Structure 1
């Protein structure tokens, strides 16, 4: 107004704005050839226009400015070169503070991304449970977002940690399952070359080593065990034995199973080390005891004599046999009635084992002792048993000194053996002589007491005390006689003593004692009895007889006498001996002990095996021992190991025949030398005929009750003078076996089974067990019951072409019989293999493999009679052919809708498992499979995000043709009333790099104009719990959400912002939080250098 008058055009409109309140959000990174969108907000700056210019080192870049709403502007440009681009923004012609805003433009080439490292190579399997890693090199590929997804064999996600470095990334993950792992790598949203990568894993802890519970091997016999790697994954199995060094052999049995064998030649524990993919199998090295049964020995009274109804004990010593357990030792005791007597084996804990059995029958008991089913030295043993309770002792009467007494011992029905009697009195022992009439059982015992007092008669039978023993009786003094001894000197008198009439006796006298000159003595009569004396001399001269020379190596008694006593007159004080006439004196004469030689090696030996014997020189002066072993054609080396007075000799014969062993000690041949030794070889005993036909399909002899069975053998090359001996143990008793000798070098062993059931046949050649022994057989009556045979398993119902099918045939309740299976189809007859179950009688595994599809009939017979249910109808189907699974495919998939497709596996073969998995750009989609009545499967997929998805379909564990399929999930179509993620914007310092502690992590999300939808914000940090995220809608703003993002540690953070399951522009955002400004500057300089080097490279081109 002027002078109160309004000027023309008044009132004038004035626009008040503040460019400092304009906010500009320019992306930190851009891509060459990809549109870059910058957001300018003028909400608090007033009204106005926004202008923008974009420039780079290559000049000005065209840009466009779009207004969205009243206060939002978008500036877009498309970089043409890889260099920093500066964006200058003006508001109403005024520069906005912060100009110019920089956007680093890079060139992303996914083909330049490379990978390397153990964790991604497919040439070597990876162990389960151990972290592995690989490198992703992005140095020449430009700056972009790297995404790594690892899935296991069960389609489960495996956590993978990605650690960015200057020019590469380290990816670390830990496989948890055995099988194929897939690694999917995307860079800038695109899969790199070779993705998805495949790696195989293994788990060495899932390897099963089937050694058996005892882990024992026999010396010089092949030891085999099974190693099952079927559940451990792929890899290479290795076996080595270093202690002691031993060669091993490995046979691939298929399906991941290997048979490992080795031949132990030393009796010591063998350490077997197994490794899988050069990783030691848990439990390695496995210790396998090597046992040499020949070195085991047995000792004790229970091997020779034992009273019935009392526990008999003997000891088996395996200390020199290589070590054994109670399970390895078997002691079989057979009574005279051929029944088996239970025998328990207990471990004493010091390398030997005590065997206990209680006989109930009188007579010889056969004891067979084996270690790992091989007889020990000296086995079988014979133990004579007797009944102590039937020993009767006649009345024992009191008697007097010098008067012979007798009583009887009755042993009728007691058993084989002899009684012994021992008389004791006041700690002294007196002999009692036992006389037995030829063939009699009533034994007379004679005893003439020498002293008076209480006596005990200890009566034993075979060394065992009989009931009531010891028997007590009294011996009274005998009749008294009086004699007068005159002593001329008063200072000499006789001491108390007993005078024997008509026999010399010593009297002790002292001449210095004042006593009476008379002494009365009471004589008794002596008794002499010499059972071992060869002669009795009664010389009639005062001289004693000459020394006796015994004819046998045992003690003898000599008797000599003098009839005229020598005259003697005491002249000084002291003790004197005065012999009396007719005195008989007993004298024991003991010869020197002879040198003893004993042991199996002095009687029999086996060709090629060490044989041993012992020479005992106890009681003889130390001297040299010379042993020479002469074979049929040459002398054999003999080794001697001296231990004190015992010499342990060993030799190894190299051919069968008669041998002589000369043994000299101190240059003189010892008694028994030269020893005659027979060397044989049980392995050269040949069973004539077809051994397999003899054993049948069951690997057991088929016997018939009351029918003779004959083993024909050729023993011509097995050694001289030998005869086969067989022990046949039936279910309840031992069967007598006969050996028939022929002059053509053949021998026949025959026996007749007397009862149904299992028979144990042990055949020996000169006490050495044959390699084929023991043999098991099943005796059956003349009739079995096939109706009790049970046939079970899937193999009697269905099978697949060219695949092994199996069923079980159990005839254990049907009685012994011969099974037979025949499988017939329309065009072929299929062979059925029967395999007996170990340690189970009449039970078999049946295996077959049909080559053609169709209907078959399985006939199962038992002793030529069909079992219940036979013939069985079997449907043989084609093997599953995954290539014939049909997939309908997917088209027109849209986010937010259920995607449907069908899978038809009917032509591929029934019985397979159908699996499906769908992987999207950032995660898995939900997949549901439903089988319809016609066998076709309906598949439903519910995607969680738009973009390319990978659909993997497997049938029976194999991918169907074309799998994995690529399914492109389109975003929700934009419509006036629908959600539009492109119209959602996010900006603020929280979406840019910063320094921990001073960094502002807030940003705004505007959803105005985006239609109805749901906002989702997800942040992935370096570690779980590494940040805090809060959001709240702004009440005074149009659909704006304020987000506060607070990181707790340095590292890279990926912020994904979605609207209705779809990423908004520029999402996901990558934010790097540094620990210091120096780190941030170093990072920027590194980026600048990379950009400069790339720019120079581009210009050079």
Structure 2
């Protein structure tokens, strides 16, 4: 049965975009059969040209442009472009402010265009709280309101849609009341090696009643020169020699003025470096990145200003990488040469301004889909992937048991994020349609598993110590029958353990062989997803090989010397024994015979007195402490060796095992 009106057609509304006046807009066209219709803010038709499947047109007026993408006389997508001009922001009122009283800056926004006004206010690199409000009586009039607490010039930067208005407004701020006060930027920041100043409003008090004391970060005194100006104020001048926080004390008759002691941050712009500058030309629409290092420069404001080929300011994003390195990013909207001005504390740094060339926009890349959600997922957990396309994709997600509803969001034009939450285990079909055609690679086949359904035979507790760690050696068996398709993987200390699969059962044997004693990382995953109840570590106590017997330490020439190798507490392996003279390296044959379960008896006979080196290997690795030194004696009668003579018993371990100290037995 067909519902009346079916099939329905839903127009795709893409994200609204903001452009500066004079920019060029680019509209992606999927094919030659697509066209666009553009109307300007006055509802007049706008002409465009097509290059590399992109419609290009200039934005010459402030206001709203509307674009319809059409195929077969049907609108398949729309775009809304808001155009603004920051040069039309008109500051009509910025009076001198007074500490602890509201300061108001009046702004006329009549000709700016659609968008949002924001601001940043700083004094000596300190952020100042403020608000932006619309006049209740005039929608085109806006006010910036802040409450200064420091008597120093406040720098006000205005932004519109994130783009800064060229130039910074400085609002002077004076102290309040009838008491003397100190003011000026020199109370808060200073460039090392340069004269810095601030003033003291004496309100008629004699200059001799005032004192200024400045201390460097190391506590040493900084010389200060004070003199009376023609206006009656006291001018204080000083020069810093070290970067860092300086203490500035301003006193009247031995008492601190309001705000004293002040903290003045001394900085050195000469050490600022612009690094990681792009070595090749980028294209329109591609983000441009570089870094600024302020190591050993002190603390002050880092300011970046980028202007495009028609001298408009651009939005700039600064991201701190660490305390001394900042990443800078901007996105060019037209081809040409961009000027990047970098200042530190208002002082241009070495290498500024920086000129970066940007080439024209490249051809539209073909639609594509990428992301983990196209390859694997887990039941009950949201999966996602991204689609790059001019138009919104149509997505279906199918499992054997039924369909799963996908959700499509567009964070910005041409990019879509698709999410879905699997309900069942199995291999899914994810179909991605762009217009009437499937995306290359579609349908995709993600493997969906349920790690919580993997069952360890007998439970985990049988393998764990009191700290919840797996004791080695250990044998683990798993049932994956309800967990879905996908390999079960075991990793110990970064090394993959090979499993033995038999139907839905998988067995892993972890011997701990070759591992040092102690705790090691442990991971169990199915299709790349961790098992939720699996422990995170194993503990290895070490393989123990025990050596005992008189033959480990001494021998009588011409008579058999014997010792025992006990490998009953060690992992799989066999012993190897070598004996050679310490001075000549002449080998002595050693006979090894099995004396019990993983217990061997070693016998050798020396013919020449002297010291010998005895080496015992287990599974190809030396027993810890080897080689041992054996002393061979000659001419003694074995019958004279008293039964009470001490017999050397040495207990050693393989590398990484728990050491057992040698012992003397009577």
TM-score by length of 1: 0.18
Q: Which one has the bigger strand percentage?
A: 2
TM-score by length of 2: 0.28
Larger radius of gyration: 1
